[in-house]
Structure 1
Amino acid sequence: MFGLVVVAVRMTNLWVRQPHPWDALQDGLKGVSGDLVLYNFLLPAPHVLVAPSGIYAIETRFQDRPQQVSGDRWRPNRGLFTFMRQEQIGNPSNDAQQAAA
């Protein structure tokens, strides 16, 4: 049952909850530079940003609370039942590096 809840939360956050990750990325890049190109779901990484300075793999996670980051370690500030409505943060830095490889 717990596994089903985790999968349902992940799918809801990815496909139902607004704003969608790809929309938030596009909105965040508006007005930055005309030299940037964002590819969503076309390459092995879910989101890839191509810029004159390089190619960047971008990982998105829905979180509505601040995260504590120390070096390469990510820790959420969460309550007892927060996991029921948010996906696990994992390690976005490591995930992006693996997606870029």
Structure 2
Amino acid sequence: MKVVRNEAYIRRRATIGNWAFPIGYITLILGLVTSLLYPQLALIPVIAFFVGFGLTQIGIYYIHRFVRPDRPEAALTQALKGLDDRYVLYHYMLPADHVLVGPDGVRTFTVKWQRGEIRCRNDRWSQPIGLLRWFLRWMAQDTLGNPTREAQQEAEALRRYLARRLDGKEIPVRPVIVFTHPEARLDIEGSSVPVVHARKLKEWLRKEGRGSSLPRELQAALEQILPRGEA
């Protein structure tokens, strides 16, 4: 498999995460200290709270996605390691963040890293956790959201992007939802988008997730408009 990463994009956002979180944390502490030592300066702690909270949330967002060892780009690359060189995996190069292009078509991967039990019933997603745990996950930007809607929106954005560059030729884009946390337990019934754990992703692609081969002319057209990566 070949991999194409937008290295500058990843590096910039990793830098933002690495700086925004500690600066925001320090700002919160300074605001607290100011409120205790100089109670007459009531406005400064308020400003420090909002600035510090905002910076920490920005930092957490980028750390999750671009700094952690199990960030989406790294987890997907590891999960798909071993696919042959007919496949190209794109990270942050296209309208969808993670795209796999191969002889059997184009797929987008919507990556989720939540742990614990994850349920889907007819595209309605939930995690059976208490209110306190939900609040802590919200603070850490670790809430589940609606993976089905996210996956469909990414796939549609990529489909339109390809159609514009292929003079209206339609190439099916198939979305896939991938969970990467080792402790994720999936209970899925009635999802309109395939849901796979990362450890089973490569096997799934080779079996039930395998699509029919694209016509050779469409494969050649894709090769012309998409950059090629290093093995």
Normalising by the residue count of structure 1, what TM-score does the alignment of the two structures yield?
Answer: 0.79
Query: Counterparts of 2:146 and 2:70 in 1: how far apart (Å)?
Result: 22
> How far has the Cα of 1:6 moved from its partner?
4.5
Does 1:65 pair with 2:120?
no
Does 1:82 pair with 2:143?
no
RMSD: 2.2
Q: Structure 1 stretch 79-88 or stretch 22-31: which is displaced more? A: 79-88
Q: Aligned residue for 2:68? A: 17
Query: Counterparts of 1:78 and 1:35 in 2: how far apart (Å)?
Result: 42
Query: Counterparts of 1:86 and 1:65 in 2: how far apart (Å)?
Result: 16
Q: Aligned residue for 2:100? A: 49
What are structure 2's unaligned runs of at least 5 residues? 1-49, 157-231
Letter in 1 for 2:119: Q
Looking at CA atoms only, which structure, 1 or 2, has the larger radius of gyration? 2
Query: Counterparts of 1:69 and 1:41 in 2: how far apart (Å)?
Result: 27
> How far has the Cα of 1:32 moved from its partner?
4.0
Query: Counterparts of 1:40 and 1:91 in 2: how far apart (Å)?
Result: 21
C-alpha deviations, 1:6-65, integer Å up to 9, x for none?
Answer: 444322211222212111101101124443221000000100111222211111133122
Q: Structure 1 stretch 20-29 or stretch 80-89: which is displaced more? A: 80-89
Task: Give the % identical residues.
Answer: 35
Instruction: Look up the SS of the partner of 2:108 in the other structure.
Output: strand
